[in-house]
Amino acid sequence: MADDSTREYFAGTDRDRAAFEAGIKLGSIVHQYVGAPLTSATASSLERAIEAATRVQPLVEGVHVRIDRKRMRIRGPYRYGVLTEDLLDVEVSVRVGTARAIGVLRFVPELDYPLMYLKDVQ
Amino acid sequence: MADDSTREYFAGTDRDRAAFEAGIKLGSIVHQYVGAPLTSATASSLERAIEAATRVQPLVEGVHVRIDRKRMRIRGPYRYGVLTEDLLDVEVSVRVGTARAIGVLRFVPELDYPLMYLKDVQ
Amino acid sequence: MADDSTREYFAGTDRDRAAFEAGIKLGSIVHQYVGAPLTSATASSLERAIEAATRVQPLVEGVHVRIDRKRMRIRGPYRYGVLTEDLLDVEVSVRVGTARAIGVLRFVPELDYPLMYLKDVQ
Amino acid sequence: MADDSTREYFAGTDRDRAAFEAGIKLGSIVHQYVGAPLTSATASSLERAIEAATRVQPLVEGVHVRIDRKRMRIRGPYRYGVLTEDLLDVEVSVRVGTARAIGVLRFVPELDYPLMYLKDVQ
């Protein structure tokens, strides 16, 4: 990151920034795409679009997005659903210098909550 | 539409509803996807995802979405852009009984505005 | 609407456009704000912001937005919820020349669906 | 955070999590509200709604949101604008145990980019 023109704006270490950037990506995904209409047949096009949009963002090393077809709620007279936080299973890896953070979003049944957490940071 | 369980809720004619539904689809597209990160390389995955998500919605007969690569503004240290209303070129066709409405969203330079309009209704 | 510079782009009548514009507003509201975090205590600030944002849009005569506190699902370790389509009760009135359309979004239990419909058009 | 039921899911330290959570909040704000219609007269209602929605999220200690009226682009026949990333000036403070991170989003003219950065972390 020695040549990153944004570096001077950041307090903290590369590790701090890696964790921060992982959080940005997960927050962005949820709030950009939740509400999008979908069915089992269209879920994969949305998964691919979210992955592609995430990869262009700063410092992303890898991303995997999966929409849970089994939890998807197809309903109403027109038989479709919408993307909710609970359906998303996301893992994103961010690299800053030699630091790396892996952030995850997944629904945790014990918490009844779609939790975003750091799976690894070093 | 004789067998559409939603019909009893609607005032007006099938033609009114066709126009209304075309408006819903265009408003939905803009406000769901504006802000999504993109580059020329990822625009097509977003176009396909928007089209797929629109086709599952009520009464849609056809939809075509195009993101204007030439107007796309790639910028900043990380060289990517975001979807804006001005980049979208959308045509959606809705059918209600024998009525059909075609709604369009496109940036109109003379108005300096991304206009949504009825291209045809009958 | 005689002096509306957008008129030449529109097929159909003022009534068609009124229905179309009512649809735009409802589709926009749902897809802009669904996913926003909220509690009973913050719902009114979101209602006011949605109403204010809708009133600045083309041809809106009036709008009323209500978020259903009783159906709101507060959950997880941090005790908050998010806006879903099912929580929204919206009525928007659009005027085009002498035509007027009133669009509604509300959850209809019999359909198990958050329906957008034309309540009145003339 | 000893009594936080989410703790067991997290790798790293409280400081890592503070940075991560600050990132989540900024990413969420941008991707939830960008695209919302606004004028100078309605900007304050949107600022208040964003602040209220942010405060209900996990571990937020404080948040301040400002929409730049001077950079706002009011245009088109209906004379309104939409929220863009460049208009947002956000500072959010997150606390995890004894750790605290302050994240900022603001447009940085030298970078021609709406940068999210850690202003402080400890």
Nearest to D12 by CA among A15, A91, A111, A114: A15
**Taking an 8 Å Cβ-Cβ cutoff, which residues of chain B contact chain C?**
5-6, 9-12, 15-17, 19-32, 101-103, 108, 111, 113, 115-121
- Out of C30, C108, C121, name the one closest to residue B28 (CB): C30
Average pLDDT over residues A19-34: 98
Residue at token pair 């900043």: B76
**pLDDT(C2) > 60:** no
**pLDDT(A81) > 90:** yes
A75 alpha-carbon distance from chain centroid? 26
CB contact under 8 A, C42 and D32: no
**Paired residues of D100 in beta bridges:** D95
**pLDDT(B1) > 50:** no
DSSP structure class, residue B12: S
Alpha-carbon distance of A24 to A33, in angstroms, equals 14
Instruction: Count contacts between A and B (CB, < 8 Å).
Output: 82
pLDDT the model gives residue A3: 59
Which chains does D contact via 3+ CB–CB distances below 8 A?
A: A, B, C
pLDDT the model gives residue C3: 59
Average pLDDT over residues B3-31: 96
Residues of B in contact with C11 (CB under 8 A): 102, 117-121
Name the 3-class secondary structure at A120. strand
Best mutation site among B29, B78, B94 for testing chain A: the one with the most A CBs within 10 Å? Answer: B78
Band (D53; pLDDT cuts 50, 70, 90): very high
Nearest to B86 by CA among B101, B73, B103: B73
Token pair for residue C14? 């003022």
Average pLDDT over residues D56-60: 96
Alpha-carbon distance of C54 to B53, in angstroms, equals 24
Residues of D in contact with C39 (CB under 8 A): 56
Average pLDDT over residues D18-24: 98
- CB atoms closer than 10 angstroms to residue C112: 12
pLDDT the model gives residue C4: 85
Alpha-carbon distance of D15 to A19, in angstroms, equals 9
DSSP structure class, residue C23: H
User: Distance (Å) from the C-alpha of residue A39 to the closest C-alpha of chain D?
Assistant: 22
Alpha-carbon distance of A77 to C117, in angstroms, equals 14
CA distance from start to end of chain D: 16
**If residue D27 lies in a helix (H) or strand (E), which one and from where to where?**
helix D14-33
**pLDDT(A14) > 90:** yes
Residues of A in contact with D12 (CB under 8 A): 19, 101, 118, 120-121
Average pLDDT over residues D65-90: 97
Nearest to B92 by CA among B45, B59, B43, B48: B59
CB contact at 8 A, C46 and C67: yes
Q: What is the pLDDT of residues B74-113, one digit of tens each?
A: 999 999 999 999 999 999 999 999 999 999 999 999 999 9
Q: What is the pLDDT of residues C14-63, one digit of tens each?
A: 999 999 999 999 999 999 999 999 999 999 999 999 999 999 999 999 99
**pLDDT(A1) > 70:** no
**pLDDT(C13) > 70:** yes
Band (D63; pLDDT cuts 50, 70, 90): very high
Token pair for residue C64? 């009323």
pLDDT the model gives residue A78: 95
| CB-neighbour burial class of residue A110 (10 A; exposed 0-12, middle 13-18, buried 19+) | exposed
Query: Taking CA A84 as the corner, what is the angle to CA C51 and CA C21, rounded to the nearest 5 degrees?
Result: 35
Alpha-carbon distance of B38 to A57, in angstroms, equals 9
Phi-psi bin for B112: left (phi > 0), alpha (psi -120 to 50), beta? left
**H, E, C per residue of chain B:** CCCCCCHHHCCCCHHHHHHHHHHHHHHHHHHHHCCCEECCCCHHHHHHHHHHHHHCCCCEEEEEEEECCCCCCCECCCCEEECCHHHEEEEEEEEECCEEEEEEEEEECCCCEEEEEEEEEC
| E strands, C8-98, in order | 37-38, 60-67, 81-82, 88-96
Higher pLDDT, B3 or A58: A58
Token pair for residue C66? 């209500």
Alpha-carbon distance of A118 to A101, in angstroms, equals 7
pLDDT the model gives residue C1: 44
CB contact under 8 A, A52 and B42: yes
Alpha-carbon distance of A83 to A101, in angstroms, equals 26
DSSP structure class, residue B75: B
pLDDT the model gives residue B2: 42
Average pLDDT over residues D76-105: 97
Residue at token pair 């997944």: A106
Instruction: Count contacts between A and D (CB, < 8 Å).
Output: 119
Band (B46; pLDDT cuts 50, 70, 90): very high
Average predicted confidence (pLDDT) for chain B: 96
pLDDT the model gives residue A10: 98
**Taking an 8 Å Cβ-Cβ cutoff, which residues of chain D contact chain C?**
4-6, 28, 32-33, 35-39, 41-42, 45-46, 48-49, 52-59, 77-78, 80
Alpha-carbon distance of B3 to B22, in angstroms, equals 20
Average pLDDT over residues A50-79: 97
CA distance readout (Å), D11 to A102, A105, D90: 9, 14, 27
Q: What is the pTM of this model?
A: 0.97
Token pair for residue A3? 């040549």
Chain D: residue whose CA lies nearest to C53 = D37
Which chains does A contact via 3+ CB–CB distances below 8 A?
A: B, C, D
**H, E, C per residue of D44-91:** HHHHHHHHHHHHCCCCEEEEEEEECCCCCCCECCCCEEECCHHHEEEE
CB contact under 8 A, C16 and B15: yes
CB contact under 8 A, D20 and A101: yes
Q: Where are the alpha helices (DSSP H) in chain A?
A: 14-33, 43-55
